[in-house]
Every structure is written in structure tokens, then in C-alpha cells.
Amino acid sequence: MPDSSLLETFSNPSQQDYVIEHIADEFTSVCPVTGHPDFGAIVLRYSPDQTCVELKSLKLYYQSFRNEGIYYEAVTNLIRDDLTALMKPHWLQLITQWQGRGGIRSFVTATSGHVPEVWQRD
Amino acid sequence: MPDSSLLETFSNPSQQDYVIEHIADEFTSVCPVTGHPDFGAIVLRYSPDQTCVELKSLKLYYQSFRNEGIYYEAVTNLIRDDLTALMKPHWLQLITQWQGRGGIRSFVTATSGHVPEVWQRD
Amino acid sequence: MPDSSLLETFSNPSQQDYVIEHIADEFTSVCPVTGHPDFGAIVLRYSPDQTCVELKSLKLYYQSFRNEGIYYEAVTNLIRDDLTALMKPHWLQLITQWQGRGGIRSFVTATSGHVPEVWQRD
Amino acid sequence: MPDSSLLETFSNPSQQDYVIEHIADEFTSVCPVTGHPDFGAIVLRYSPDQTCVELKSLKLYYQSFRNEGIYYEAVTNLIRDDLTALMKPHWLQLITQWQGRGGIRSFVTATSGHVPEVWQRD
Amino acid sequence: MPDSSLLETFSNPSQQDYVIEHIADEFTSVCPVTGHPDFGAIVLRYSPDQTCVELKSLKLYYQSFRNEGIYYEAVTNLIRDDLTALMKPHWLQLITQWQGRGGIRSFVTATSGHVPEVWQRD
Amino acid sequence: MPDSSLLETFSNPSQQDYVIEHIADEFTSVCPVTGHPDFGAIVLRYSPDQTCVELKSLKLYYQSFRNEGIYYEAVTNLIRDDLTALMKPHWLQLITQWQGRGGIRSFVTATSGHVPEVWQRD
Amino acid sequence: MPDSSLLETFSNPSQQDYVIEHIADEFTSVCPVTGHPDFGAIVLRYSPDQTCVELKSLKLYYQSFRNEGIYYEAVTNLIRDDLTALMKPHWLQLITQWQGRGGIRSFVTATSGHVPEVWQRD
Amino acid sequence: MPDSSLLETFSNPSQQDYVIEHIADEFTSVCPVTGHPDFGAIVLRYSPDQTCVELKSLKLYYQSFRNEGIYYEAVTNLIRDDLTALMKPHWLQLITQWQGRGGIRSFVTATSGHVPEVWQRD
Amino acid sequence: MPDSSLLETFSNPSQQDYVIEHIADEFTSVCPVTGHPDFGAIVLRYSPDQTCVELKSLKLYYQSFRNEGIYYEAVTNLIRDDLTALMKPHWLQLITQWQGRGGIRSFVTATSGHVPEVWQRD
Amino acid sequence: MPDSSLLETFSNPSQQDYVIEHIADEFTSVCPVTGHPDFGAIVLRYSPDQTCVELKSLKLYYQSFRNEGIYYEAVTNLIRDDLTALMKPHWLQLITQWQGRGGIRSFVTATSGHVPEVWQRD
């Protein structure tokens, strides 16, 4: 089941504003209604304050959803909340991108904080 | 025929602002003039307030247009209106993307409400 | 329902070997088990003998499957048989390419006759 | 020759702001200097007021340029003016996208009115 | 664990040679060494004799590998053997396509029987 | 109207076997039934004997179809015949690739002579 | 050597704001250090005032750099200055896009004037 | 090891605002934890003041990271700092784009200064 | 330096003919003339006899070329020879795909043994 | 002008059959009729006997065509002949791929010798 205690951090090595993105292409959980697996990608973007999430611990945290029955919207809000509580970043954006079910593909985008200037033009 | 009574909702699981997208790649209706089928995709984006549209009911609602003779512009405005009435979301955007007829591809974009901050930079 | 009487032919304008392909990207029928619509593309390739299938009649014939409950394999073999009976071509290949259901995309390839030399290297 | 009398309209079925796009991939006219044909695509985007342009009439209007000798810039401004006069939309954008001549591809973008809010974020 | 008893068949509706492909884009199993999940796609192609594999049962069979620790080569040969034993087809090809591990992507291709003429030119 | 007298040749500069391809992406003619324009590409491949077709004359010859009402199959066989009569090449392949009409895209492939060894593996 | 006297203009046919783009995919000059050729594309965008640059003269002007030894930054600023002096446009943007040298691809973007409203949303 | 003394500059040839991008597709360093190599691309964008970085020296500077054990975030901030100290540009953006590790691709974006007007619409 | 003693094998789990491909996208060695790094991908395909190469050991073997000065042709033949000596497979194909140097991209293909039937149509 | 004396060779490091490809994406020569530059790519594939062509010398040889007025067919046959005379390879294939002129793209393929087994399936 989802286990935020797997998440670890390290100290932010810079005091300047910058943005980190981690794109996990191999996320899977289970549909709570049908019991069939859901597959998707998870895009995490954040502007760190004091700490950054350690990459391998992030992978293990994502793997803890593997056999969990949970809705798209709940996954998205839960991960956003867990990572925001962990790092207290200036800004965090969490996007889940789900492969098609019944001919419909879904995306859910959640954020905390405000978009930093460094991310406003690219 | 189009039947908005097929639509169902569930309670929004989060009180924070976020955006949900559902992309249906397999929409079909019928041209009211020629009687030939039209094929297209429907992009739904919204920022929920109290409720979210249930995914399987959305699929059945879209299927109810299968043998309906209806124009591109009317489909777009009708779906926008049905979903806005159903969920009363903070913001809703409905885009229909039609495959070519006579060498012309068409897109129609309708909205209700105002774009939320969470959607303003990506 | 599928109606091969919609098909019309015209006289083959050439006595030399050649190959005609028609790719219909907007085919739809209905799953006989679930009642949900199936969407796909149909690739027709043939080397004509005395007659060619008329393009608009082919479109109307394909449209006659719109509300028919029928399996992938049956659609493919039926269309191959109808068109072979209609034109008695030197060679005919019929490929159906179905969009995903439950995470699985399917293709079915059926032929009649032998591949002509004109089609053996491209 | 270009004939705006071919254009027809129908009443806008909605009083809400929305945007319609028609993309014609098969436009052709003639270079007034060399007499060789030009090929391109035409993107029309507009926010309707009282009327919308009827799709088949738009196709016939575009076809009326087939044997006309006319420059890229003149085609773009003429179509923008004809459609603006016809519909008096809140906003209209007309983009011509020309295939390469002498190793140079060209695009011309013309508008009338101001971009509506519905079109400002996508 | 992998469970071939989930597989079901139906009678081949045609006595002519043809080829069926099912492409499952959402396969996952577990690396027997590291315990980390593996993700991949499975391409099945076969020329049926008396029976065809039923699509939903194929999906459930693939899902039975979800928490199984098993090597790439073993998965491929096992599925080839299970499906060959089930259907005794004229020809069967099974390809597993694995996403990258340590910067290396892997594909394994196994067959039984001989390629039919219908599949020799496309 | 189609005018093969526009075609010119030059002497083949080499006595070795080789293959020349010319791909014209901007072909247009007119549907003899509806009067609407057809758009497509023409792929010419040949292994020259004594002469090669001059490129600018080929372009003018293709342009001579601009306002001709003619079927897909007839265009393909006519161009194949005109170019074969002009150059008497060892081998010639003529493919017309037509953009969609009524949701169906069409390709017609005609040849004369036999495929040379230089073209058999690439 | 670069020769701005090759450039010619014609009168702007419209008094409304619009934007013209010319994309030349086949630019080449010479590296002043190594003497090896550089290859790239040049994107020109401008909002005309009284005059527009004539397309064939633009091509000849670009060709005049063929055997000139000149740095990326200097090419970009020189062409921006020559075209701004020629047309005195409301706005002009000149982008050079260079193919890789030593594993590094380079782009240089220069402008004169301010971005017009017609260009601010697309 | 990373060696900023390899970096060289040349005088900015223009006093107008413009933007230079260098995209290095072949960057490699070493993971400080596992000792395995990391591969990625580095995008550098800047608006020069008095000096520009010389391209070959930039390549050699990037190569000096080849056998250095260093984290993604540290590489990004170090290069941003070295290049900012070297050139003191009006604005500088440094993006590192890392290929997948354990199914997760990462991007880090750092800047100094403020985005110039020339870069605000493209 | 290249070290084939890093390579390990495991017993082939099947006695049927099949083909294994491993595609390593992150290979790097050093040009023996200029000392600059070369980057490329390595495609390995083989039909195993008694043993298969273990994937992690293959990765470490490839990493042992990281600081070796060696030509494209020599890398290709050396890896083909090392892996053939290790596994004595029925067939082995080794392709190196090098990113551009001086505007020229290179590929080298070497094999041992004869192509198995399982690989002759796909 | 084209100068085959620029070409250099080195000894083939392997006595086994293999194939080398060099793809030069930045070839340019001049049209002998119009004087305008032609741009294209050159694909060289060969199976070496005693010698291989040295890569930098190949680049300089290609650059020697930069200001030469020469037809597509002549370039292709000349390079094929020069490289065959230089290396006397078991097999050599030379393909020139020209960007569009007047809406027509051209490719010319010439060979010497016979295709080796190593190249017959991929």
C-alpha cells in the first residue's frame, strides 16, 4: 500500500531558485472498482526550499502503489500532499497521465504554492 | 439520442484547486445534412468544485450521440452545457476535434468559467 | 446490418498487373458481447481482374456495419469474402486494425489468391 | 477566380464565447509571376458573433482560387477581409502555410478583432 | 502467479489461412534478482487452426504475471508454450518488448510452426 | 489536359544498373464525377536504359493534369504508359498516393518490366 | 560575399497588422576558423510597414553567404540589420538554427522593434 | 574533473539584445553513489552583455565532467554558476536533461538574471 | 579498457529457436586520433545455443570501453568476436550506430553464423 | 571541383564479412543549368575487402563538390565509381537523396558488386 515513510530527502545544494522535474514512465496501481491494473506516467516538478526528494526513494514510494486499489484523482492528490509535506517546496506540480480505459485517456494536474519566475518562460 | 441523464458524479476528494482532463478518441455522430457519420475526439478539461463526473458514465453519455444527426458547433455547446450543469465546476473547457470532411479538418473550443492558476503554466 | 448488395463495380481500365489500396480510417461496429462500439481502420489491397470496386459504394458498405454486433475475426473474413465474390481479383488482402480494448490492440489479416510480382518489392 | 459570393452563413447556435477552427490542407492557387501552381494549407480561427460560415461553402470559396494568379500576402489579406465582412466575428485569425519554393517555406498570419479569453490558454 | 488455466478459446470462424495479432502494451512482471518491476509490451501473432484465444481471457492470463519474479527469456518461452499448447496453431510468434533497464532495452522473439504465405509480404 | 509531348529526355550518363526516384508531392487533378479537386503525391521509380526523363519537363507534364477530370486508376496507368513509351526503361514503377475522400485514402501501384537487382535489398 | 544590394522590396498590399514568415531550410556559410562549411536554417518573421521583401531576392541574398567565412552570431546580427534597414518593419525576428558541430547544436535569435498583438497568441 | 579554466570568451559582436542557445546532446558524468555513468543533454540559453562563450572551449569544459562523480542538481547549479561568472550575461538559463534511471527521467532548470523581451514570445 | 572477463552467461532456458535483442543506447568510447569522445548505440541480436549473456555483465562490459581510444570498425568487430567466443550462438549480429562527426553519421554491422528462420520475417 | 585524390584508406581490421555505412547529411553542389545550389544527403554502404575509406578524407572529398555544377545522376555515378576504384569492395551502394526542387524530391541509387549475406535481413 502507499507508504510515504519510504521517501527520503537530501539538503538542497543551492540557494538560488531552480526547478527539478522527475518523470516516471512506469507507474501502475489498481482500479478500485474493476480490480484491473491501471498504467500511467507521473510528472513531478518542484522548486525546492531546504530539501530535495532522493530519487531512489521516490521510485520505491511510487512502487508502493503497485497493488493498491485507488482512483486517478485520489492518487494525484495523495502524492501531491505527501511530497509537499515532505519537502515544503516553494512550488510543486504533480501530473498523472493515464493510458486509455474504454477509449478515454485521462490526465490530472495538481499543485501547491505559486509558479516561480524561473518556470514562467521556456 | 444525446442523453444527459446517463451522467453520474462522485464527490470531489480534494478541496485544493486542480485540473482533470479526459480525452475520448473515439467519438462519432452523424452529419444532419448528408447522413454520413462524423468521427472525432473530445477533450474535456475542468477544475472541479463539489463533484467530478464519473468516467464510465461519461463514456456512455458520449456513446448516446452515435446515431444522432447534429452539427459540430451544436455538439460542442451541448456537451459543454450538460457537463457544466451537472458539475458546476470552477472552470470547464470542451474541445471537439473532427477528422477531415472534403479536405477540411475542424476544431471547436468552448468554455465556462475562468482559467484557474493551476492551469496557467505548464 | 452488413449489406454486400451496396457494393458496385466498374470495368478495370487496364490489362496490365497493378495493385489498388483503399485505407478506411473510420470504421466502427459493435462488440457482440458488451454492446460497446469498436473502432478501427480497414486496409484493402487487391490486384484487379475484370472489375474494380467503386469507391463510394465501398464506403457505404463499410457504413452498413455501424450498428452490427460482430467479432474482429468475423468482420475480417466476411469483408474478404464479400469483396472476393464481387470482383474475383487475382489477389486480395484485407487487414483490420482495431484500437485498444483493455490495453490490447488487435490486427487481423486475411487474403485470397497469391501475391502478384508488382507487390513483391517496395 | 476568387468569388466571395460562394460563401454562406448559418446562425450562431450559442450566445457564449467559443472558437471555431477550420483547417484546409488542400489549397492551391497560381504564382502570378511564374505561372506555376502554389500549394498550401489555410487555418481559419474565429469567435462568432451572429453567424458562422457554412463549411461546404467555405470549401467552394477556397476552390475558386484554383487558377488565380495571386501572391501569398494578397491571398491571406483577401480571405481575412472576405470572411470578416461576411461574419463580422468578435475575432478572426487567418494563417496561410505554403509549401517550399526555392528552398523557402512561407507562412502569413492576419487577424481582425482581439483574441477572446477562451483562446488565451490551451 | 502465471496461470494458463485462465486462457479460453473459441472456434475459428474461417477455414481459410489468416493471421491474428494482439498487442498488449501494458505487461508487467517482477525481476527475480532485484525485486523491481519490469514493464513491457507483448506482441502475439498466429495463424489459427481449429481455435482462437479469447481476448479477455488473454488479458487475465497476462495479468497473472503481475507479481511473478521471472526473467525476460523465461516469460517469452513460457507464453509461447502455453499458447501453442492451447490452440495448436499453424504458426505462432511471440515477441516481448521490454523498457530500458540500466540503459539497455531488450526484445525476445520466439515462434512455433512455419510462417504462412499470408504473412510473407506486407 | 494531360500532354505527354511536354516530356523530354536526356542520355543516360551511365551504363551500369541504377535506380532513379522522383517524388512529386503536389499533384492535383479533378474528380470526373463530382468535379471536386483531388490531391496526391506521385512516386516514380525506374532503372534507365538509353534515356532519362528530364526533371522540369516531368513537372510540366504532371501540371497538365491540373484541370483534367480523371479517375485514380486511369491517372496511374496513363502516366505509367506515357513514361514507359518515352524511356523504354528496364523497369518502371509508378505509385499514386491520394489524400482522403470520404474517410478513405487510396494508393495505386503500377509497373512495367522486372525489378532490378540493385533495388532488391535496401 | 554577403551582398544586401541583392535584396528587393514590393509595396505592402495591406494596411492592417499581419505577420509574414519565411523559413529557408538550406542556408550554408563557412566557419572562419576551420574553413569547413556550416549548414543551417533561417527563420525570418516580420510585421511589415510600407514594404515587404521579395522572396526570390531574399533567396539570392542568402546564397551570397555561401563561401563567406563568418561566425553564427555575426550572420544573425548582419541579416537582422540588413533586413531591418531595407524594410523598416514594425517588428522583425531573425533566428538562425545551426546543425551540430562537435555534438553541439546552436540557435541564435535577434529582433528589432516590439512584438505585435497579432503575434502574441497562437 | 570539472575545470572552468577551459572556458574562453570572445567579444559580443552586437550591442542589441539577442539570445544564443547551445544544445549539447552528448554530456556524460558519473553517478557519485553507484559509479555508473549518467548520460544527458545540456541546453544553454543566454542574452550576452560584453562577452560570449567560445563554442569549442564550451565543449572541452563539458568533457571535463566525463569521469566526475556528481549529482544532477549539483551539475546544473555548477555549470550555471561557472558560465554566469565567466560572462556576466543579462540572463542565462541552464537546463540538464537526463536519460532514464530506474524508469525515471529527470530535468533540472536553473537561471540567473531576468528573461529578456526578445525571448518572451516565440 | 575493454575487458571481456566482465561478461557472464546463464544457461539457455529453452531448446527451441528464438532470438534475443539487447539495445544499449548509451555507449561511449574515445576517438584514437582526436581524443574526443564518441557516442553511440549498440544493437546485439543473437540466437542462443547453450548459453545467454547476462544483462548486467553486458552493461559493465560495454562500460569498460568508456576511456578506450578505438575506431568504429574495431569496436564492432571486437564486440562481435568477444560475444561469439563467449556464447557460441547459432547466429549473432552486432550493429554500432554512431552519432554524427563532422556531419557524417556511421553504422557498422557485423555477424557470425547464419540468420535463423525465426528472424526471417517480421 | 570533385577531387578523388583527397580520398584516403586504411587497412580493413577484420577478415570477416561486415558492412559499413556513412550517412552525410550536409552535401551541396550546384545545378549546372540554373546555377542555384542543390542540397542533399549521401548514404554510402559497403562491404570492405582490403581497405576502408578514411572518414575525414571522405568528408573533404564530399566538400570538393561544393561549387561544382553537376546533375544528380552524374554525382551519384561519379562517387560510386571513385569509391569503388579506391577500395575495390565486395559490394558498394551509393544513394543520393535530394531535397525538393519545384515540388519534386529525387533519390538516385547506384551499386557495384553483389549484396552480402550480412546485409540481407535486418
CB contact under 8 A, H115 and A119: no
Rounded to whole angstroms, the Cα distance separating G80 from G110 reads 7
Question: Does some domain include residue I122?
Answer: no
Residue C122 has pLDDT above 70, yes or no: no
Cβ distance of H73 and A52 shorter than 8 Å: yes
Q: Give the C-alpha separation, A15 to A21, whole Å.
A: 18
* Residue length of chain I: 122
Q: Does I36 touch chain E (CB under 8 A)?
A: no
How many domains are there within chain F?
1
Q: Does the residue H45 lie in any domain?
A: yes
Is the model's pLDDT at G122 over the cut of 50? no
What phi and psi, each to the nearest 5 degrees, are found at residue J71? -75, 160
- Share the mean pLDDT of chain E: 93
Side chain identity at B81, as an amino acid letter? D
Strands (E), A1-122: 9-11, 18-30, 37-47, 51-53, 91-101, 104-113
Q: Which three cell numbers stand for residue E5?
A: 488455466
- The rounded distance, in Å, linking the Cα atoms of C120 and C116 is 7
Closest CA to C103 of H19, E59, E109: E59
**Predicted ipTM beyond 0.85:** yes
Q: Which three cell numbers stand for residue H79?
A: 555549470
Residues of chain H contacting E102 with CB distance shorter than 8 Å: 36
User: Which residues, listed in sequence order, are joined to residue F24 by a DSSP beta bridge?
Assistant: F42, J104
Query: Locate cell 515477441: which residue?
Result: E95
User: What is the sign of the dihedral through the CA atoms of C26, C30, C31 and C36?
Assistant: positive
Distance CA(J38)–CA(F24), nearest Å, equals 17
Q: Which pLDDT value is given to residue A16?
A: 83
Q: How far apart are CA A42 and CA G111, in angstroms?
A: 38
Beta bridge partners of D37: D30
Q: Report the C-alpha dihedral over residues C64, C70, C74, C77, rounded to 10 degrees.
A: 10
Q: In sequence order, what are the residues at sequence separation of 6 or more whose Cβ sits closer than 8 angstroms to the Cβ of residue A85?
A: A4
Mean pLDDT of A40-54: 96
Are A75 and A96 within 8 A, CB to CB? yes
Which three cell numbers, joined as nine digits, stand for I52?
A: 545467454
Show residues of chain H in contact with A19, CB under 8 Å: 108-110
What phi, psi does A90 have (nearest 5°)?
-60, -40
B45-74 pLDDT, tens digit per residue, is 999 999 999 999 999 999 999 999 999 999
Distances (CA, A) of B52 to A71, B45, D8, F13, I58: 12, 11, 40, 71, 50
Q: Which chains does chain A touch, 3 or more C-beta pairs < 8 A?
A: B, C, E, H
Bin E112: left if φ > 0, else alpha if -120 < ψ < 50, else beta.
beta
To the nearest whole angstrom, how far is the Cα of D82 from the nearest Cα of chain J?
30
SS3 content of chain C, % helix, strand, coil (to 5): 25, 45, 30
**Mean pLDDT score, D39-59:** 96
Within 13 Å of residue H54, how many CA atoms lie on the same side as its CB?
12
Q: What is the pLDDT of residues B36-47, one digit of tens each?
A: 999 999 999 999
Q: Cell numbers at residue E73, please?
A: 527469456
Instruction: Say which of C17, C25, C38, C52 is annotated catalytic.
Output: C38
- Beta pairing, strands H104-113 & D9-11: unpaired
pLDDT at J122 over 60: no
Percentages (nearest 5) of helix, strand, coil residues in chain I: 25, 45, 30
Q: Residue B38 has which C-alpha cell? A: 462524423
- E119 near I CB under 8 A: yes
Q: Quick one: average pLDDT of A14-23?
A: 91
Helix (H) or strand (E) holding D100: strand D91-101
Set of chain C residues whose Cβ sits within 8 Å of the Cβ of B25: 99
Average pLDDT, chain G: 93
Assess contact for A91 and A83: CB atoms under 8 A.
no
User: What pLDDT does residue F122 have?
Assistant: 45
DSSP conformation class of G69: B
Q: Is F65 helix (H, G, I), strand (E, B) or coil?
A: coil
- pLDDT above 60: residue C57: yes
Query: Alpha-carbon distance G74 to H52, whole Å?
Result: 12
SS (H, E, C) B45-90: EEECCCEEECHHHHHHHHHCCCCCECCHHHHHHHHHHHHHHHHCCC
What is the block-wise mean pLDDT of chain H (122 residues), using blocks of 10 residues? 95 90 96 93 97 96 97 94 97 94 91 81 48
- Mean pLDDT for each consecutive 10-residue tract of chain I (122 residues)? 95 90 96 93 96 96 97 95 97 94 91 80 48
Nearest Cα residue to A106 out of G34, C104, B53: B53
Q: Which of G105, G108, G119 sits opposite H121 (nearest CB)?
A: G119
Contact B55 A102 (CB under 8 A): yes
Q: How far is I58 from chain J (nearest CA, A)?
A: 22
How far is D13 from D54, CA to CA, in rounded Å? Answer: 13
CA distances from F91 to C118, D93, F21, F110, J97 (A): 11, 49, 12, 11, 20
Instruction: Point out the residues of chain F with pLDDT beneath 70.
Output: 120-122
Q: Is E107 helix (H, G, I), strand (E, B) or coil?
A: strand
> What residue spans of F72-113 are helical by DSSP H?
72-87
Catalytic residue of the set A3, A38, A49, A52: A38
Domain range for D18 is: 4-114
The DSSP bridge pattern shows strands F91-101 and D91-101 to be unpaired
Chain Cα centroid distance, residue G53: 11
At G104, which helix (H) or strand (E)?
strand G104-113
Comparing E104 with A122, the larger pLDDT belongs to: E104
Residue count of chain E: 122
Whether residue E29 lies inside any domain: the answer is yes
Grid cell locating H47: 542574452
Domain of E64, CATH number, reads 3.30.1130.10
**What pLDDT digit, counting tens, does each position of J58-91 carry?**
999 999 999 999 999 999 999 999 999 999 999 9
Q: Which helix (H) or strand (E) holds D95?
A: strand D91-101
State the Cα–Cα distance between residues B119 and C62, nearest whole angstrom: 42
Asked if H19 lies within 8 A of G108 by C-beta distance, the reply is yes
- Asked whether residue B121 is assigned to any structural domain, the reply reads no
- Given this model, what pLDDT does residue D120 score? 65
Q: How far apart are CA E10 and CA H25, in angstroms?
A: 52
Distance from CA of H45 to the nearest CA of G (A): 9
